[in-house]
A and B are shown apart, each in its own frame.
Chain A
Amino acid sequence: MRTCLEIRNVTKEFPGVLANDHVNLQLRDGEIHAILGENGAGKSTLMKIIYGLYQADSGSVSLYGQEMHFTSPRQAIQAGIGMVHQHFMLIPALTAAENIVLGGEPGKVHYRRKENEEMVRQLSKQYHLEIDPSVKVSDLTVGLQQRVEILKVFYRKAKVLILDEPTALLTPQEVEELIGVMERLRLQGIPIIFISHKLDEVKKVSDRVTVMRAGRTVATVETNQTTPQELANLMVGREVVLQVAKPPQEPGSVVLRVDGLVVVQGHAERVKGVTFEVRRGEIFGLAGIDGNGQFELVEAITGLLPAKSGRIVFKGRDITKTSVHRRTAAGISYIPQDRQADGLILDFQLAENFVLRDFTRPPFAKAGQLQMGAITHHAERLSESFDVRPRRIHSLAGNLSGGNQQKVILAREVSRDPELLIAAQPTRGLDVGAIQFIHDKLLDLRREGKAVLLVSLELEEIMSLSDRIGVIHDGRLMAILPGGHVTREQLGLLMTGVNPEKEG
């Protein structure tokens, strides 16, 4: 088989960070080649070099034997490199067809709406990626938006398709569809680079896997001659326990009761009468596809959004109309899903971020004055016990890696000794090591008899941690299931609004 894309000894250094260190990669014609690695392993940097967004300090990139020196994405596109970014590069206000032809519109001056839409329709048939070209991208589901992205690449006559974490935002069903698409493309002989940190998907779809760690390519293996355990070990460089050790435990009294809660945001009812309880010593997992009301539910419980009707009862007291501040003081801790926007103030120092919840109270403030000594001491203690790196409490939160930012939030919320921790997507975008750390801390809380409400889009996380699992779809709880005895398929169906028991 011919070598399509070859990366030889590529090195890229940023101030203080060796992002790529003599990276090597060979992509063969017609194969699906996975690149596996933790966040920060250098996958994104490598892709940006291939795509012309960065220039390598040394080493070479060649396409079909010809050495390439891209200085802009435009050149990479012209040479036949097609990339689907993790965060879609689409313009929601424009139609699918407009997005696809943008930058390479046929004709000189006039935009040929009809012809372009017809051409996109043909293209979508050719690659079995059915879409309606005249629909605005903002009206498409995430799965369909991804098709637009892939079509965009083929419209530019790509010879190589690079998919950067393509399954991150998809439902389980959409992931299946994407895998189908990739397999059909392989049959058409299109080589694909598939970047992921999800072992099961890599195992399922790829022909070969290259593992990256700390900026280096540590190994390239044939997928069918390896095991997930081996891949995980290569990825993190040490033995990883994939299964979470969770001893059985009787839950205690009810800490949080949500009763017929309705939440309206904008003009839409996002939570439509949800009832459930979370008890001491249990992790209650809330599973659902993004956008089904789970985060509005969480924001209503924390007090960020008002409840339209229904009740929220915390430790026997009705807190439905209580302020955020009071709820926090009463013992509710909260890890928001967007750590950079809602969890931290990126332009503040670590020490300041550690006391965001409590800086108005002693010992951090006395008579309206911040007690810098107490704050510094607190920050030093927390960053040590939660292993925040680098341990510089006066550096800005924005300078930390994602995993360490999340540790700061976790440390702040857990150290307040809460009765209830609400964790929304606590491991989103983190690497295996950081995920494990956070899972351990959640289990610690459970063992200490705290109540944990875990909201996650990752089924694995919900399934491995939760004592009970609530599935939310379109603002309603479809079912509450015991944690130990559910399958992915069961949850997947409920998440899409199908209740097999009711219909069967």
Chain B
Amino acid sequence: MFWHILSQPELWAATLAMATPLALPALGGTFSERSGVTNIAMEGIMLIGAFFGVYFAYLTNNAWLGLVGALVAGALISLIFAWITVSIGANQVVVGMGINIFAAGLTTFMLNTIFGYGGTPPSIPHLPNLNIPGLSRIPFVGPALGQQNVVVYIMLLLVLAGHYFLFHTNLGLRLRAVGENPQAADTAGLNVWNLRYLGVIIGGILSSLGGVYLSLGLLNSFEPNMSSGRGYIALAAMIFGKWTPLGSLGAALLFGFATALSIYLKGTPHVSTNIVQMLPYALTILALTGLVGRSTMPAADGTPYDPRK
């Protein structure tokens, strides 16, 4: 029976679909933390992205403009986050938590104020699914990989681009340097604050895209707290993936698989859905307690840098 389930392409399609809203904020978190700013605000920024995606799509009647608006909103909220944590040097975890609470309240409030209590209208345009020509005709692989939402493919490209950026470009080297030892980076002539702003804002844009995928890609609506903890699971995926884009994707796929499996196994006799539904969260705890492999976080992650000291 086990092999039978694994041989269903729909399971793998669902894995990829479920991994995407984890991989994007995990990649975002990687950028932020590699630059030395602990980011637990992914959850809130996802909500901002999800809401403003729908809102701008509703205003312009264009899903792509909705996406652009959401990314701008995500960039703005992370700009505020960066200002408070980098320039003012406030505690990053506390501010991150504050952003999460703020975002949950703001989006629910705006939803009710703008759209009323009936929720977002069903007529809102959404981001299309793509049919990759060629790929979709291959048996098994086609149904698994070839007919996903456009954001899934964007995510895959962004993970590759993120890996290249962090580990094979000069700017990536600098970003990692300020996350490891900002004082050394400063004396080497780098602008620590600018680089950290960059890391946080890239992180915010990517997290926001994760939210857009939920609202304009999967569900075609906004619901209060629709990120439902994915930002925190993404945090675990980032740690699990050892603060690397490829590792984050791998961890997100694992969590996505657990989620997909739990959906797939629903209604199957002899399998407790409670246990299966528990899987992603159990994996999260394992990742966060460091039981799965030792991860070394960026050395200066979480420490504000004050150049005057």
| Residues of chain A whose beta carbon lies under 8 Å from any beta carbon of chain B | 51, 72-74, 77-78, 83, 85, 88-94, 98-99, 102-105, 107-111, 113, 152
Contacts and interface: CB of A to CB of B under 8 A. Distances in A.
28 contacts: A72-B189, A73-B186, A74-B189, A77-B189, A83-B187, A85-B187, A88-B184, A89-B183, A89-B184, A89-B188, A91-B181, A91-B299, A93-B180, A93-B299, A94-B176, A94-B177, A99-B184, A102-B177, A102-B185, A102-B188, A104-B188, A105-B170, A105-B173, A109-B171, A110-B168, A111-B168, A111-B170, A111-B173
A146 to B, nearest CB: 14
B187 A107 contact: no
A89 B187 contact: yes
A48 B135 CA distance: 61
B173 A94 contact: yes
A103 B169 contact: no
A110 B170 contact: yes
A107 B170 contact: yes
Contacts of A89: 181, 183-184, 187-188
Contacts of B190: 102-103
A92 B180 contact: yes
Most buried by A among B173, B185, B188, B190: B188
A92 B299 CA distance: 9
Interface string B183-220: 11111111000000000000000000000000000000
A111 B180 contact: no
B173 A98 contact: yes
Contacts of B189: 72-74, 77-78, 103-104
Given A51-B187, A72-B189, A83-B187, 13 more contacts: A73-B187, A90-B181, A91-B185, A92-B180, A94-B177, A102-B177, A103-B188, A103-B189, A107-B170, A108-B170, A110-B168, A110-B169, A152-B188
Contact of A109 (B170, B181, B187, B188): B170
A111 B175 CA distance: 13
A111 B169 contact: yes
B8 to A, nearest CB: 42
Contacts of B169: 109-111
A399 B45 CA distance: 41
Contacts, number: 69
Given A93-B299, A110-B168, A103 B180 contact: no
B172 A111 contact: yes
Contact of A103 (B172, B181, B185, B296): B185
Interface string B157-170: 00000000000111
Of A99, A102, A104, most buried by chain B (CB within 10 Å of CB) is A102
Nearest to B167: A111
Q: Which 7 A-B pairs have the closest CB atoms?
A: A103-B188, A89-B184, A74-B189, A105-B170, A103-B189, A91-B180, A89-B187
B174 interface: yes
B294 to A, nearest CB: 11
Contacts of A88: 184
For the residues of A in contact with B, the DSSP-based class is loop
A108 to B, nearest CB: 8
Contacts of A104: 188-189
Nearest to B300: A91
A102 B186 CA distance: 10
Nearest to B182: A91
B295 to A, nearest CB: 13
A215 B10 CA distance: 75
Nearest to B165: A109
A77 B187 CA distance: 9
Contacts of B187: 51, 73, 83, 85, 89
B254 to A, nearest CB: 25
Contacts of B180: 91-94
Contacts of A74: 189
A72 B299 CA distance: 24
Contacts of A77: 188-189
Nearest to A83: B187
Contacts of B174: 102-103
A98 B172 CA distance: 11
A119 B68 CA distance: 43
B161 to A, nearest CB: 12
Interface string B28-39: 000000000000
Contacts of B299: 91-93
A102 B190 CA distance: 8
Interface in B126-165: none
B100 to A, nearest CB: 29
Kindly name the residue among B177, B181, B184, B299 whose own CB sees the greatest number of chain A CB atoms within 10 A.
Answer: B184
Contacts of A111: 168-170, 172-173
Contacts of A94: 173, 176-177, 180
A312 B26 CA distance: 50
Nearest to B190: A103
A93 B243 CA distance: 13
Contacts of A113: 168
A90 B184 CA distance: 6
Contact of A102 (B168, B173, B183, B298): B173
Contacts of B168: 110-111, 113
A93 B130 CA distance: 41
Contacts of A103: 174, 185, 188-190
Nearest to A74: B189
Nearest to A76: B189
Nearest to A106: B170
Contacts of A78: 189
A91 B172 contact: no
A51 B189 CA distance: 11
B309 to A, nearest CB: 11
Contacts of B296: 93
Contacts of A109: 169-171
B16 to A, nearest CB: 30
B287 to A, nearest CB: 21
Nearest to B171: A109
B243 to A, nearest CB: 11
A90 B183 CA distance: 9
A102 B182 CA distance: 12
Nearest to B164: A110
A19 to B, nearest CB: 14
Contacts of B184: 88-91, 99
